[in-house]
Amino acid sequence: KIQDTISICASSLSQQFLLNLLDYEQLAIETNLNAVKSSKESLISNLENIPQLNWIQTGGAFYAFIELKYNINSWEFSKSLINLKSVLVLPGSIFGSKWKSYIRLAYGALDRNDVDEGMKRIKSFIDETT
């Protein structure tokens, strides 16, 4: 009977450890969600200051499709942006022909400062090329 109790049930120490781990996991999730929310807010704020770009709001993704509202296709924009400003965005055209005037910018793995710097470089690139 003692062996059954020991081998069938998790020890109290193991159970307490797992409860603490679940609390930590919830805190980590909240921290990461707050960081992504901050990055998204920074992206939106920066986009409002660049009239040549128009953002399409996404439902929950960690990226944004951004319309280029001036005469350049997304492939040329993306290629020039990485070469001249070291900012990587994906040309919308790789997602289908209806996205040829859009770029896709992922912000989920970036902190707010990186988003601000990237958008500053994008704005500078647009100012120099329009």
Residue 32, in any domain of the structure: no
Give the count of alpha carbons within 13 A of 124, CB side only. 12
Tokens 């953002």 map to which residue? 55
* Residues β-bridged to residue 56: 65
Residue 2, pLDDT > 60, answer no
27 in any annotated domain: no
pLDDT band at 124 (very low <50, low <70, confident <90, very high): very high
Whether residue 106 lies inside any domain: the answer is yes
Q: Is the pLDDT of residue 17 over 70?
A: yes
User: Which tops the pLDDT comparison, 5 or 10?
Assistant: 10
Range of the domain at 67: 37-129
Confidence check: pLDDT of 96 > 60: yes
- Give how many domains the chain has, as a whole number: 1
| pTM, to two decimals | 0.79
40-73 confidence digits (pLDDT tens): 999 999 999 999 999 887 777 899 999 999 888 9
